[in-house]
Amino acid sequence: MAKLNINGRVREIAVEADTPLLWVIREQVGLTGTKYGCGVAQCGACSVHFNGEVVRSCVIPVGGIKATDRIVTIEGLSTNASHPVQKAWAALDVPQCGYCQSGQIMAATALLKKKPRPTDADIDEAMTNICRCGTYQRIRAAVHMAAESAAGTATVSPGSPARVPARRAKSNAAKVKA
Ligand code: FES
Ligand code: FES
């Protein structure tokens, strides 16, 4: 039996102690925004926040988690994709297939909490999540946009990839949460 605080709600879940947190989040709790990629802490698709730090949930056995530990998944960032990082992702049309993007967003939000104005080098160092679609340039741009938005200095220049049709941006926001 595990007692887990996920997105602010404590749940008692009947599972073996060695079950990875990722599987409990997806299978028992039904929050499928967190993805399975490699299962060995390499790709970052399964990233969630654990007491405010980004972690790879595929290698965390639930037996070691206390009810006082705070777990936040992509669904816990906002109920309607309104978190500044999610909005920057949609505005800059970041996702391609979308599979890695929940993990990318969780890594980005954790980074921005620690470093509100990260450099490209900070982003590259902190965000080691793999994107098979190669969206790294747009991820960097979106992290900068979210940082500027939080600081109240966000701008969208002509020709910027932020100029995407609203319908497409909306569909990309949906992809991020799928
Ligand atoms: S599925 Fe956890 S790091 Fe790849
Ligand atoms: S958007 Fe396809 S793997 Fe990253």
- Assess whether 110 and 69 both reside in one domain: no
Could you give phi then psi for residue 5, rounded to 5 degrees? -95, 100
Same-domain status, 93 and 167: yes
pLDDT at 151: 81
Q: How far is it, in rounded angstroms, from Cα 32 to Cα 24?
A: 10
pLDDT at residue 1, rounded to an integer = 87
**Structural domain ending residue among the three candidates 53, 77, 101:** 77
CA atoms of 36 and 51, how far apart (whole Å):
21
Going residue by residue through the chain (178 aa), what tens digit of pLDDT does each one get? Answer: 899 999 999 999 999 999 999 999 999 999 999 999 999 999 999 999 999 999 999 999 999 999 999 999 999 999 899 999 999 999 999 999 999 999 999 999 999 999 999 999 999 999 999 999 999 999 999 999 999 998 876 654 433 444 333 344 444 444 444 4
Among the candidates 11, 43, 77, a domain finishes at 77
Gap from CA of 131 to ligand 2 centroid (Å): 5
In the chain, the number of structural domains is 2
> How close is the Cα of 35 to the center of ligand 1, in Å?
8
Report yes or no on 178 lying in a domain: no
Among 57, 77, 97, which residue terminates a domain?
77
Residue closest via CA to ligand 1's atom 3 equals 41
Domain boundaries, position 169: 84-173
Prediction pTM value: 0.86
Residues 119 and 157 in one domain: yes
